Chains A and B, each alone.
Chain A
Amino acid sequence: MFGFLLGEALRDLRRAGRVAISAILLITLSLAALGAFWLLSSNMSEAVTQFRERVKLVVYLRREPGTAEASALVDRVRTMPGVGAVRYVGKAEALGTLRQVLGKDAAVADTLPQNPLPASLEITPTAEGATLEGARALVTRLTALPETDEIGGGVEWMERFAQGQRLLWLFALGVGAVLAVAAILTVTTATTLVLHARRDEMEIMRLVGAPEHVVRLPLLLQGMMQGLLGAMLAIWVLVACYALIGPRIEPLVSETLGVARLTFLRPHNVISLMLAGTLLGGVGGWLARGRPEA
C-alpha cells in the first residue's frame, strides 16, 4: 500500500512540474543558508572551546617568595574553586623566557641593572573557571590574596566573541525563518496545483470508498518529497562550498581564530537538515490539503 501511495505521490510531483521545482529550490536555499550559518557557528564554538583551553590568568606577586613559601602558595591557590593547574614562575625563569622571546636581541636584557620582572603564578582555570562569571569570581579571589600585586589575562574578549556567535545564530534563524515561510508557501502552491490535477483521482477514490488517509496521503507525501529533495540539494551545496571555499580560507581562519581545520557539519546536523526539509515540505503539502476539492 505504501509503495502505491509513494508512486502516486511521485506522479503528482511530476505533474506539479515547474512550481514543484521552484519549491524545491526555495527549500534548498533556506536550508543551505541555515546550514551555512550552522557551519560557521559550529566552527566558532570550536574556536571558543580551544581558546578556553588555552586561556591563562597570571598573578604577579609583590615579591619573590622563598622556595618553601612558593610551594605553600601554589598549594593554597590550587584548592581555590575554578583553578585547574598552577605553575610558579620565579623571577629568573621569567627573565629566561623574555630572553627567548627577544632572540638575537637578548643582549638588551643583560644591560638591565637588575631583573625587573616579578615572580608570578600561571593559572589554568577549569572549564567553569573559564566562563565569564567563573573568571570574574576567580579574579576577585586571587586579588584578595595578600601576595597579589596585579592580575593579567582574562576571558572577557572571549565572551564577546561568544556573544557575537549568538548574534550570528539569531540572524541565521531570522533569515532561515523568512526563507522557510517562502518555501512553505511555494510547496502549498505546488500542492494546490497537484490537487487540481489530481481531483479526478481523488473523486474516484472517494466514490469507491477509499479511506480518507489514502485519498490525502499522496499529497502530503509529495510535499514531503519536495522538502527532502530540497534538503538533499542544500546539503550537496554545502558540501560543494565546503570543499571549494574551505581550503582557501583555512589559513586566514587558523591565523585569526586559531582553529587549524574547518570542520563540516556533523552527521546529526545533516540529519536535522533533512528532517527540517521534510517537515517544511510536509507542512506545505498539509496546508494545501484543506483547499476546496471541487
Chain B
Amino acid sequence: MIELHRVWKIYSVGPVKVPALSDVSFRVGKGEFVTLCGPSGAGKTTLLRLLYRDDVPTEGEVEVLHQDVGSLTRVEVAALRRSIGIVFQDSKLLPGRTVYENVAFVLRVLGTPRREITGRVFDALRAVGLSARAQAYPAQLSAGEAQRAALARAIARKPLLLIADEPTGNLDEGMAAEVIEIVRDIWAGGATVLFATHQATLAATLKQRTLTIHSGRLVKDEG
C-alpha cells in the first residue's frame, strides 16, 4: 500500500539546510492501521505530504497504491489523490461554506452524480456525529466539531487510504477518543489508515503498529 525507500527531505531556508526527513524507510500493507508518532517538528506532516505528492522527496523513492509517486504526471497525481482521503492538520475547511457544503464541494468537484450527493454527505456527517451541525459555518464550530467535519469530508468519498494528520490535535481526551473511534470504524470498513499524532499516550492506547519519528529519523517501528 505504502512503501518508502531511503527517503530524505531537506528544506533549504536561504543558505540553511533543514533535514525534515533523514533516510526514512518503511512499508504499510493493505488494511493496516498505522500510527505515526513524534513530537512537534519531528517531520510527520512532511512525511504525509510526500504520500499524496504535495511535495517530492529530495532523495529516495515513495510508492503509494503501487505507483511510484515521483514519476507521476499531473493527471496521474490527481487520480492518485482521488483514492486517498486526507484530514489536513489545518483542516482546510472553506470558511464561506457550511459543513454540508464543505463536504458536498469535494464530491461535486470529483464529479459525483448530483442525486447521490445529499445521501453521501449525510452518511459521512452521521458517521462523525455531525448531522445536526450541517448548516453551521466553520467559524461557528468548536475545535472538535471542526476536526470531525474535516474527517467527514475525507471519508465521504470512501477512500482506500485514509491519511489523518493530527485529527485529535487540540482536542480534550474525551473528544479525541470520539474521533479515534470514528477512524477505527473507517478502518474496520476496510480502509488502510495512517494516523499522525504527537501524543505518545494516545498512540499507546490505540494498540496498533506505531512508527515513531524523531528529528526526521524513524527511531521505532513496533506493535
Contact = CB atoms under 8 A, between A and B. Distances in A.
B200 interface: no
A200 B94 contact: yes
16 contacts: A200-B94, A204-B92, A204-B94, A207-B86, A207-B88, A208-B106, A209-B78, A209-B79, A209-B82, A210-B78, A210-B109, A210-B110, A211-B75, A212-B74, A212-B75, A214-B109
Contacts of B94: 200-201, 204
* Chain A residues touching B, range: 10 to 19
Nearest to A208: B106
A203 interface: yes
Interface in B71-89: 74-75, 77-84, 86, 88
Q: Considering residues B54, B77, B105, which has the most beta carbons from chain A within 10 angstroms of its beta carbon?
A: B105
A208 B110 contact: yes
Nearest to B86: A207
Interface string B60-80: 000000000000001101111
Interface string A78-97: 00000000000000000000
A208 B106 CA distance: 7
Interface residues of B, number: 24
Contacts of B82: 208-209
Contacts of B84: 209
Contacts of A157: none
Contacts of A208: 81-82, 86, 106, 109-110, 157
A205 B110 CA distance: 9
Contacts of B106: 204, 208
Contact of A1 (B54, B78, B92, B111): B111
Given A201-B94, A207-B92, 9 more contacts: A4-B108, A200-B95, A206-B81, A207-B52, A207-B54, A208-B110, A209-B77, A209-B83, A210-B110
B105 A212 contact: no
Contacts of B92: 200, 203-204, 207
Contacts of B54: 207
Contacts of A205: 109
Contacts of A1: 108, 111
A205 B109 CA distance: 7
A203 B91 CA distance: 12
A208 B54 CA distance: 11
Interface string A192-223: 00000000110111111111101000000000
Contacts of A211: 75, 78
Nearest to B95: A200
Interface of A: 1, 4, 200-201, 203-212, 214
Which 7 A/B pairs are nearest by Cβ-Cβ distance?
A: A209-B81, A209-B82, A209-B78, A210-B109, A4-B108, A208-B106, A205-B109
A210 B75 CA distance: 9
Interface in B137-165: 157
Contacts of A201: 94, 105
A124 B105 CA distance: 72
B190 to A, nearest CB: 20
Interface in B100-143: 105-106, 108-111
A200 B102 CA distance: 12
Nearest to B74: A212
A64 to B, nearest CB: 89
B204 to A, nearest CB: 31
Contacts of B108: 1, 4
A102 to B, nearest CB: 83
B3 to A, nearest CB: 20
Contacts of A204: 92, 94, 105-106
Contacts of A214: 109, 111
A1 B112 CA distance: 8
Interface in B31-66: 52, 54
- The CB with the most chain B CB atoms within 10 A, among A201, A205, A206, A208, is that of A208
A209 B74 contact: no
A4 B101 CA distance: 12
A290 B134 CA distance: 35
A4 B112 CA distance: 11
A135 B92 CA distance: 77
A209 B105 contact: no
A100 to B, nearest CB: 79
Contacts of B78: 206, 209-212
A202 to B, nearest CB: 10
Nearest to B80: A209
A214 B106 CA distance: 11
Contacts of B86: 207-208
